[in-house]
Structure 1
């Protein structure tokens, strides 16, 4: 028995992502853009979304965020046994910073 259907789970994930994105961008736009892996144009669009538009996007039936480390090697490297947590955070930030933004990859 499924407790939550896929549509509800997608809506919840999408809304969580949009709320987090807005909070990160309002707190510090540059750091928010880096953490989200979005361009200035996408950041501006996310920051400007109303609650109604966020709900509409969340209800689209598709995930609106993507797992950035899409290569197996990156995920594998980030999840192996490593030294202290501070080094893990730094390594994660460096690995994600090296990935091209979706808009840049298409260019």
Structure 2
């Protein structure tokens, strides 16, 4: 895989993430804040972005989203296929809810 392919893939992921996040916030703000792991301040910023601003942000070659599962227990709960899927995902959601949200610095 070429470096340019990787950068293009990152830009596509950024665009999809920003559009999804904005749509989620507009549809159900409380659920979006929880599911995205963001603060109300970040939600306000994302909701107010114009299409041009979203395209500009998405064109960065740096991944804009971050993974919430930064510990092995949460990762295991989401990836483990041996447990009943629903119970593992509920437990993972509870653990994720206790993690600090992303804020604007």
Q: CA RMSD in A?
A: 1.8
Displacement over 6 Å in runs of 4+: none
1:37 paired residue number:
37
Matches within 5 A, 1:52-63: 52-63=52-63
User: Structure 1 residues 89, 72: closer, same or farther in 2, change over 3 A?
Assistant: closer
1:70 paired residue number:
70
Q: If the length of structure 1 is used for normalisation, what is the TM-score?
A: 0.84
Count of aligned pairs? 102
Stretches of structure 1 lacking an aligned partner (at least 5 in a row): none
Query: Would the aligned equivalents of 1:12 and 1:58 in 2 still touch at CA under 8 Å?
Result: yes
Deviation at 1:89, TM superposition (A): 3.0
Q: Deviations over 1:13-64 (max 9, x none)?
A: 0011001101110111011100010101100000111111011111111111
Q: Report the Cα distance in structure 1 between the residues aligned to 2:101 and 2:43, rounded to whole angstroms.
A: 12
2:8 paired residue number:
8
Q: Report the Cα distance in structure 2 between the residues aligned to 1:48 and 1:34, rounded to whole angstroms.
A: 18
Q: If the length of structure 2 is used for normalisation, what is the TM-score?
A: 0.86
Matches within 5 A, 1:75-94: 75-80=75-80, 81-83=82-84, 85-94=85-94
